[in-house]
Structure 1
C-alpha cells in the first residue's frame, strides 16, 4: 500500500538509466544495453517483486480515516516509463484506490462518490496491449542475447578470413586510396585553367602510369589482364578471387583514364570560351566511355565463374544465361549515355543560349557579372542575361539555373564530368 501523497520521485531520481551505458554493461551485453538505452525493452524485475505491495509510512496529504491501496500487476510494471517514473494502468490485476479517488469509512462504510471507474473499452484495450507487449519485448531481448552470444565467434571468423586474404585486402585498400587521391589531384589541375603547368601534368601522368604498370606486373600471374580484352580467365576463379580481379581492374582502368585526361588538360592548357566548353565536353565523353567499358569488364570473369560444370550443365547454363540477360540491360543504359555525350560534343551551338551580337552587348553593358571583367565571347541566356562564355560554361558544369535570376536555363541533361572528376562507384557485377 502507498499513500496518496507519495509520489514517484524515487523513480525519476533512479540512477538505473544513467548507468545503463557503463563500460561493464557494454562489454558484457552490448546489444541489450543499447536496446535498453533506446527504450525498445527494459530490464524485467525479479519475479518476487512483480506483485509486491509497497507500504510507506508517509502520511502527508492524508486526512484522518483515509486509506490508499495500490496493487501493482504485471501489466502495469511492463508499462513503466523510465523518463518520468510514472506508471500506466491497464493490466488485468490492477486495482488503484488513491486518497480522494476512493475514501473508505474506517467503520466499514461504502466508498464515496469520487471513486474512479474504468471504462469497459479502455479495459479491453489495456488488456490486449499488456498481453502482447511483454512477449514482443521478450522476443527482441532473446534475439539480442543470441546475437551477443555468436558475436565473439563471428569476429574470430572475420579475423581469420582477413588473415587468409591479407594481401588482397591490403592491395584493394591501397589502390582505392590512390585512386581517390588521384581524383582530387586531377580536379584541382582542371580548376587551375590557364595556371596549369605542363611539367606538373607530365609528372602526374608518369606517376599514374608507373602505379598502373607496377600493380599489373606484380599480379601478372593472377589472370588480371585477360578481362581487359574481354577474355575469361584460364581457370574458374573462386568467388573472392573473382571479386579481387574485378575490383583491381575496375580501379586501375579508372586511373588509366585519368592519364588520358591529363593529356587533354595539357592540350587545353590556356582554354577560354569555346575551347573551355569543348574541354569539358571531351572530359565528359571520356568518362562515359570509361563507364561503358567498365560495365563490360566484369562480364568475362562472372561468365567463367557461373559456367562451372561441377554444378551441372543445366544449372550452370541457366545461371550464365540469367547473368548475361541482366547485364545486357545495364549495358544498354551505358551505351545510350555515351551516345548522348557524343552528340553533345558534335553540337556546335550553345544549348542554353546564343552568342550575343554587338548591339546586345552595348545595350546590356560589356561587364560580366561573374568575373567582373570585360566580356569575352558573351553568351545571351534564354532569360536575357549575358555572361562570358568561359564563366557561364564553368557555371553550368554544376548548375542549371541563371547565376542572377535563378531561372531554369539549362535543360536536364547527362551529368557533366567537365571538372575532371571520375565516378567513384565500383562496378562489381
Structure 2
C-alpha cells in the first residue's frame, strides 16, 4: 500500500524577509505600529510593539510562537504504508547494530540514543509550548482589560459629573498652590532686589484667595478641623477626602502669606540676617508640617468612629488610626524642635568668621560671587567665602564649593529658599 502525496509551494525568500525579522525591524524603526490596530485594541498593540507579545495571526495559543510551516520554501507530505514502514524500521535497526559494532561500545542499545534525543526534543517543545501559553494568557488579559476600559471610563465620567464642583475646586486650588510656591521661591532668590510693592500685592492675593475659598464653604465642615474639632456628621468617604484636601492646601497658602511677610521684613538681608531669614523660613515650614499632620485627624476620627459598623469594629479601626498617626506626629515634633534649636544657635556648624589676615592671604576675593569679601567665613577646609554666598550654597549642598570636602553635617532639610512641601497630607 504505497500512497504518496506531495505538495510543493515555491516562495522567494530573498524578496520578503522572515516574519520575525520583519516584526523586529518594524518595532525598531516604528513601522509596524498602525493606528487602526491601536484604536481597535490599544493594549494588545502596545504589548506587541514593545516585544512582550508576538503577532498572532491564527489566534490560538499554539501559533503564538510562530510555527515551522509559516515561512517560504518547500513543504512535502508523504504517507507511508505499513509494510514499507516495517521495512524501514528493520533497516534502521540493522544500520544501528552495524554502527554500534564498529564503534567503541558494542553492547550499547540503539534505542538509548533515540530515547535521549526524543527526551531533549520533548523538553524543548515543552518549553516552547509553555512560553506560547504564557504569551497567550497575557494576550487574553490584555483583551479583557480592553473590554472593560470603555466601561471604566464611563464610570469615571459619571463620578466626575456627580462631584463636578468639588473636582474643579480641587484642581483650582492645587494649581494656585503650585504657582504660588513658584512665585515665592523666585521672590526669595531675588534677595535685596525684591520690590516691596510686589510682595505686598502677592500677600493680598493670597489672603483674598484663602478667605474666598472658606467664604464659599462657610456652611460646610471645612472650618471645624482647623481648630481640632470633628465634623458634626459622619462624612462620606469622598466628602472627607475633599475636606482634607481643601484644608491642607489652604493651610499651605496661609503659610506662604507668613513667608511673604518674612521676606518683607528681611528685604535687604545680608550676612547674618540672610542666614536668619533662611532659618525662620525653615522653622515656619516644619511647624506647617506638624500642623498638617494633625489636621486630618478629627475628620478621620469621626469617619472611623461609625457605630453603624458595630462598636467593636469602629473602636478597633479608630484605635489603629490614632496609633499610626501618633508615630507620624512624633517624627514631625522632633523635626520642629530641631529647627527651633538651630534658630536659637547664633553660630554655625560649617566654619567661623575669618580674620583680616586670613582674608588677605587668600586675595580678598570670593570664589562664588567673584567680588570683594563681605563678612568672610572660614570653612573647616580652610577656604573662605562671603557669608551670603556660602549660606545660600549650604541650603542645597553639604560640601565645599572648591575642594568638595564634606563641611556641613547631615541635619534637617533646609527650606531657606522659600519652598513649600507640595505633597498632600491625606491621612
TM over 0.5: yes
Superposition RMSD in Å = 2.9
Question: Is the 8 Å Cα contact of residues 186 and 262 (structure 1) preserved in structure 2?
Answer: yes
Report the 3-state secondary structure (helix = DSSP H, G, I; strand = E; otherwise coil) of the residue aligned with 1:133. helix
Does 2:307 match 1:287? no
Structure with the largest fraction of helix: 2
Report the 3-state secondary structure (helix = DSSP H, G, I; strand = E; otherwise coil) of the residue aligned with 1:9. coil
Distance apart, 1:325 and its partner CA: 0.4
Whole-angstrom distance in 2 between the partners of 1:370 and 1:36? 53
TM-score, reference length from structure 2 = 0.82
How far does the alpha carbon of each residue in 1:339-369 deviate from its partner, in whole angstroms, 9 at most, with x for none? 1111111111110111112221222221111
Distance apart, 1:324 and its partner CA: 0.4
Say which of 139, 156, 159 aligns to 2:157: 159
Report the 3-state secondary structure (helix = DSSP H, G, I; strand = E; otherwise coil) of the residue aligned with 1:400. coil
Whole-angstrom distance in 2 between the partners of 1:289 and 1:257? 9
Distance apart, 1:414 and its partner CA: 0.8
Question: Is the 8 Å Cα contact of residues 55 and 64 (structure 2) preserved in structure 1?
Answer: no
Q: How does 1:138-217 map to 2 (within 5 A)?
A: 138-217=136-215
- Hey, what does 2:352 align to over in structure 1? 354
Q: 1:375 to 1:158 in 2, by over 3 A?
A: same
Say which of 38, 46, 62 aligns to 1:34: 46
Whole-angstrom distance in 2 between the partners of 1:394 and 1:273? 10
Say which of 29, 32, 44 aligns to 2:56: 44
Q: How does 1:3-152 map to 2 (within 5 A)?
A: 9-11=17-19, 12=21, 20-46=32-58, 78-80=64-66, 122-152=120-150
- Hey, what does 2:224 align to over in structure 1? 226
Whole-angstrom distance in 2 between the partners of 1:314 and 1:407? 58
Whole-angstrom distance in 1 between the partners of 2:253 and 2:319? 32
TM-score, reference length from structure 1 = 0.82
- Hey, what does 2:388 align to over in structure 1? 390
Whole-angstrom distance in 2 between the partners of 1:230 and 1:350? 37
Question: Is the 8 Å Cα contact of residues 18 and 71 (structure 2) preserved in structure 1?
Answer: no
Whole-angstrom distance in 2 between the partners of 1:266 and 1:119? 86
Distance apart, 1:257 and its partner CA: 0.4
Report the 3-state secondary structure (helix = DSSP H, G, I; strand = E; otherwise coil) of the residue aligned with 1:379. strand
Report how many aligned residue pairs link the two structures.
377
How far does the alpha carbon of each residue in 1:1-35 deviate from its partner, in whole angstroms, 9 at most, with x for none? 67899567253457987775322211211111112
Distance apart, 1:424 and its partner CA: 0.4
Q: 1:120 to 1:193 in 2, by over 3 A?
A: same
Does 2:284 match 1:276? no
Consecutive unaligned residues of structure 1, counting only runs of 5 or more, are 51-73, 88-107
How far does the alpha carbon of each residue in 1:65-122 deviate from its partner, in whole angstroms, 9 at most, with x for none? xxxxxxxxx97x54449xxx999xxxxxxxxxxxxxxxxxxxx999xx9xxx995674
- Hey, what does 2:297 align to over in structure 1? 299
Say which of 304, 314, 317 aligns to 2:315: 317
Moved more, 20-29 or 312-321: 20-29
Report the 3-state secondary structure (helix = DSSP H, G, I; strand = E; otherwise coil) of the residue aligned with 1:406. coil
Q: 1:167 to 1:2 in 2, by over 3 A?
A: same
How far does the alpha carbon of each residue in 1:175-233 deviate from its partner, in whole angstroms, 9 at most, with x for none? 01101111111111111111111111111111100000000000111210000001001
Question: Is the 8 Å Cα contact of residues 80 and 86 (structure 1) preserved in structure 2?
Answer: no
- Hey, what does 1:67 align to over in structure 2? none
Report the 3-state secondary structure (helix = DSSP H, G, I; strand = E; otherwise coil) of the residue aligned with 1:408. coil
